[in-house]
Amino acid sequence: MQNNTQNIVLDHAKIEAILAKFGIQKENYAFSTQKNQGFSQNATLHKVHTPVNGDYLASVRYATQEEYNNSIKIAKNAFKNWRTQPSPKRGEIVRQFGEKLRAYKADLGYLVSLEMGKIYQEGLGEVQEMIDICDFAVGLSRQLYGNTIHSERPQHRMFEQYHPLGIVGIISAFNFPVAVWAWNATLAWVCGNVCIWKPSEKTPLVALACQHIFNEVAQENGLEDGISCLILGDRNVGEWLAKDENVALVSATGSTRMGREVGKIVAERFGKSILELGGNNAVIITENADVEMAIRSTIFGAVGTCGQRCTTTRRLIVHEKHYDYVKNRLVNAYQKLTIGSPLEEGNLVSPLIDNLAVNNFTQALQNVQAQGGKLIVGGEHLGGNYVSPAIVEAENHCEMVQNETFAPILYLLKYKGDVQNAIDLQNDVKQGLSSAIFSLNIRETELFLSAQGSDCGIANANIGTSGAEIGGAFGGEKETGGGRESGSDAWRAYMRRQTNTINYSDKLPLAQGIKFDVD
């Protein structure tokens, strides 16, 4: 592997210029709602460092409970008017937001790479994903359809319609620090909701930048304060959102542990939740696969974003016919990976988010080897937050293979016999987000996509586990949470369903032919 991690120097003049474009002060910066209401000056400063080389970027203040409550009050007031606006008019605001994102794409993509650590091309891709969901939401704003239903009673009309929920709380993770917020916020906005966003404490600056962009649109259109609110803070803010009966829906992206806590708290108050949690995604290479295509896809799926995607390929299940060839090709390809600053063109592997992630990576490799796994390439800590992606030969039942490690570790598994054996291995984990099969045999691919096949929310044939498009609903089953975000009919989760019946006769017949006459 080519190690380019030494002596990385950042252009701080450029960084400060980009922060200034988004109105971000380097010191004492705080934010809550569209009118830039600052948080308490007595709050503790939290310093933000880049995972690229550890340099200090800026400081932010976390909200107090009182300031959170004030934001809720402002959001509730904004909802009263926002819900009355025609959906296409709400869509027009989202359209303008998308145009602003186009104008800011290069700078926002740079900031995503700088603060999160993914390579610049992926940072640009994340902003493009935001732009794409804006386009989707604009079209959706004219397609919030209900249903007309034939009544069994004469001269009655029955129909279903959808209304906005109110306040939507969004808890996002560091690995996609802005795109997942946009998936939720844009759909919630066109549906007539207002949003309160709790970003990851590891990536507050990109959240501030997005709020600044929305604020420009809000100010240009004279929108009331509170349609978009940003609350910086640690897990306390997430708990406030989960417990708050004013928050109709909590959409949380993160670990299974976090989702289990949030889901339980929200359910106890009969609130709604969307949970997009852990993944333990597998690619199957059958004896009938285009092996070269499968290998290329697996490499990106396993090492992209340094293994910190929820859709990262973590298990590779290979038919014994191709196992040795695939193993050797992967080892050779891994040895050619370029590791270094995500802001330098040509580097394919970027840093992990922080020291804790590095420790989890090294500990997982120690554990899996103690459980019988064999490390065949990579696994080194290169200094700072940089590691060399690892491949481990293991068995699917191994404890470490059964659990997600948010780092670039690919477990190589061998299967024999027909494809059902591989599918059974793939499904034999607690998570159920993304999955893929590589085969040129239509019977194998169709079986994989059938009810007998993959039990994941995403199942692909001849493409990998990563790279979901915004047009499809995103989410998974089992310990992945079961929620759906982004495209398709995911918008329904952000609305409440109502059945209506209108009697335009001069009689009052009851359903099911019930007679209940009173003189």
Q: Which amino acid is at 332?
A: N
Q: Residue 27: its pLDDT value, please? A: 75
What's the CA angle centered on 259, arms 424 and 315, to 5 degrees? 30
Q: Residue 403: its pLDDT value, please? A: 97
Burial of 277 per CB tally in 10 Å (0-12, 13-18, 19+): buried
Question: Do residues 334 and 409 make contact, with C-beta atoms less than 8 angstroms apart?
Answer: no
Q: Residue 30: its pLDDT value, please? A: 66
Question: Do residues 407 and 360 make contact, with C-beta atoms less than 8 angstroms apart?
Answer: yes
Q: How many residues does the chain have?
A: 519
Closest among 16, 477, 473 to 205, alpha carbons compared: 16
Q: In b/e form, how buried is each residue of 458-497, taking b as 16+ CB within 10 angstroms?
A: bbbbeebbbebebeebbbbebbbbbbbbbbeebbebbbee
Using CA atoms, how far residue 346 sits from 3, 54, 200, 312, in Å, is 12, 21, 28, 21
User: What pTM was computed for the model?
Assistant: 0.96
Dihedral sign, Cα of residue 202, residue 206, residue 184, residue 248 = positive
Distance CA 144, CA 226 (A): 23
Tell me the two tokens of residue 209: 């930048």
Distance CA 316, CA 325 (A): 13
Distance CA 231, CA 170 (A): 10
**Which residues are part of the catalytic machinery?**
276, 310
Helix ranges (DSSP H) in 10-168 = 12-21, 65-82, 87-116, 120-140
Q: Residue 40: its pLDDT value, please? A: 67
Q: In this structure, how many other beta carbons lie within 10 angstroms of the beta carbon of residue 358?
A: 21
Q: What is the mean pLDDT of each run of 10 residues along the chain (519 residues)?
A: 93 96 81 70 84 96 92 97 98 98 98 98 98 98 97 97 98 98 98 98 97 97 97 95 98 96 97 97 98 98 97 98 98 98 97 98 98 98 98 98 98 98 98 98 98 98 94 97 95 98 95 83
Q: In this structure, how many other beta carbons lie within 10 angstroms of the beta carbon of residue 212?
A: 19
Q: Residue 468: its pLDDT value, please? A: 85
Residues 6+ apart with CB under 8 A from 103: none
Using CA atoms, how far residue 320 sits from 105, 290, 327, 338, 387, in Å, is 45, 15, 11, 30, 30
Q: What is the largest CA-CA distance in the chain?
A: 93
For the chain, counts of helices (H) and of strands (E): 14, 25
Closest among 451, 458, 417 to 437, alpha carbons compared: 458
CA of residue 385 relative to chain centroid, distance: 22
**Strand, coil or helix: 230:** strand
Q: Residue 35: its pLDDT value, please? A: 77
**Strand, coil or helix: 479:** coil
